[in-house]
Homo-oligomer: A and B are copies of this chain.
């Protein structure tokens, strides 16, 4: 079984990134690495490193997106966690063979070389779980 390496990040869904940073950065004291707009996913994300992990604050930019609907339905707060694995293709194949329901059958390749895939909360007991393989 391919290795599970570390908790890469915890994603927090927020309606307003500036307001969220007023807590996590200004009041709580996390350092802001950078803010990135990911047009393809209609989100703006703030990356706040913490040890070997990150807190990611995610603001939906479109009212039609799944994230915006999640936010409207459930309110702001914890959205998903992401775990770095050694070999994401092997991990997905292994999970599939065990009957785990995947959102992404194959890893998506990002511009920076990262590969990622989501596992369905139906199989995890309510947790939206993302996997990363880093280049």
Binding site for B on A (CB under 8 A): 1, 4-7, 10, 12-14, 19-20, 23-24, 27-30, 50-53, 55, 74-81, 83, 94-95, 98-100, 121, 123-127
Contact = CB atoms under 8 A, between A and B. Distances in A.
B127 A78 contact: yes
The majority secondary structure among interface residues of chain A is mixed
A7 B50 contact: yes
B10 A81 contact: yes
By Cβ-Cβ distance, the 5 closest A-B pairs, closest first, are A6-B51, A77-B126, A76-B126, A78-B78, A7-B53
Given A27-B95, A27-B98, A98-B27, A75 B6 contact: no
Copies of chain A in the complex: 2
A27 to B, nearest CB: 5
Contacts of A99: 27
B83 A50 contact: yes
